[in-house]
Amino acid sequence: MDYEKLTQVMRRLSLVAGDKIMEIYNSDEFEVKLKSDDSPVTEADEAADALISEGLRTAFPDVVLVTEEQAASHSMKADTFLIVDPLDGTKEFVHRRGDFTVNIAYVENGVPTRGVVYAPAKNRMFFTLANGQSVEETGALSKDVIGETLPIKVSQADNDALLVVASKSHRDQATDDYINKYKVADSKSAGSSLKFCLVATGEADLYPRVGRTMEWDTAAGHAVLHGAGGMVVRFDDHSPLIYGKDGYANPFFIAYSPSVELKEA
């Protein structure tokens, strides 16, 4: 894989998709449908998916592409593949809360090694460089040229005063029970894959997810966190979270700075 090209293409496509998403987000109204699992899907999901899929297939025709909005891709089996959630945090989008992202990632041998997470309503862009280091791009976001970037790195956590982030739309008692095992100084909520990015920048130390997710929800954020020195492990046995699983469904997991002293489930 040409990582330089991959970085450029993923970043540009996230911005193109973000523009389309914001065009629909800022319209007076948009259609919301329910998928077979009762999760919402909007015209923004579908339009962004079409733009990203076309761009990735043109740039990388020989790489398997898995995307949330194309059910046929969910039966593909590969250890190395591109994976896309064109609009992660659809509930946040529908309720106009702004915490939604465009997620594009590259998985190699079951590990997300490169990715981009773009939050168009918040104008925050996180991605991995060709060398695997994660950065946040600051300032104006040009589609053609990468602007000024700031290397990001996980925190050196204070285990007597941890900063925790959890899901905004899916927080429940099981999540709170696990968080209560730690000494917490501050706990915040965020939507979509932004939670991974908050751990990657050191704005949070720990993100436990005790609930259903799919690989396209997590791969890009996982890659960004990995490139900032963070880790993502299974909730049950703390083994690494791997990708390319049957049906692309995740077990519960914990994303964290390695300086956090993890508690048992």
Q: Is 89 annotated as a binding residue?
A: yes
Phi-psi region of 89 (alpha: psi -120 to 50; beta: other; left: phi over 0): left
In 3D, which of 102, 58, 54, 112 has the Cα closest to residue 82?
Answer: 112
Residue 5 near residue 59 (C-beta atoms within 8 A): yes
Specify which residues 125 forms β-bridges with. 118, 137
Q: Is 217 annotated as a binding residue?
A: yes
Q: Is 2 annotated as a binding residue?
A: no
Count the neighbouring beta carbons within 10 Å of the beta carbon of residue 233: 16
Phi-psi region of 230 (alpha: psi -120 to 50; beta: other; left: phi over 0): beta
In the numeric block, the tokens 């960004």 are attached to 224
Q: Is 176 annotated as a binding residue?
A: no
DSSP state of 215: H
Q: Is 87 annotated as a binding residue?
A: yes
CA 45 to chain centre: 15
Query: Which residues sit in the known binding site for Mg(2+)?
Result: 68, 85, 87-88, 217
Query: Which residues sit in the known binding site for substrate?
Result: 68, 87-90, 217
Query: Which residues sit in the known binding site?
Result: 68, 85, 87-90, 217
